[in-house]
Amino acid sequence: MKDLIEIPTLTSASFEELAREMLVRLGEQPSREGLISTPERYTKALKYLTKGYNEDPEEILKGALFTVDYDEMVIVKDIEMFSLCEHHVLPFFGKVHVAYIPKGRVIGLSKTARLVEVFARRLQVQERLTVQIAETIQNTIQPLGVGVVIEARHLCMMMRGVEKQHSATVTSSMLGAFRAQQTRQEFLSLINHENSNGI
């Protein structure tokens, strides 16, 4: 019978120790050349991929709000997104399309992408991520409406389980004016439109 390995309690073990223990339980030798620094690298990577827990999404938006006389749809499309599924801690990735109709204030364009990043850098499900982005914009600038669409591929479906390589998941959240069929359709048409310049 193999000797039992003593596992440090959660309160006393460092993240690196827990990662090293995980390697042992997978049947690996953490002392071999390729794995010596893996617990440290894994810790740094996971902390970076979940750094959104330490950021305030509303404060990010409030840092770049501008008063303008504009009441047509503003769209930031094709925002690249990478996140970790909370069920298997495997990546899912894709594109986020965000639109809103301002009511006196607009968001600095880069802040829309930063907002997506804050929520994506947490353990997530795509449905919640979609709603969080929309509701934060709605609560922060009180526009006439907000629409968010996310198209993503999930490695938990591609690498394991059903192992379907080409399936994509599309989710949407429509608030305020975007609940009206005409506004919703205009948004969906604009994000699906590709002109000759590829914009």
Catalytically active residues, by annotation: 85-88, 126, 154, 156
CA 115 remoteness from chain centre: 9
Please state, as a whole number, how many other Cβ atoms lie within 10 Å of the Cβ of residue 194.
Answer: 8
Q: Rg of the Cα trace of the chain?
A: 21
- The count of residues in the chain is 199
> What's the token pair of residue 152?
């993503």
- Which residues have a Cβ under 8 Å from the Cβ of 8 and sit 6 or more positions away? 17, 18, 21
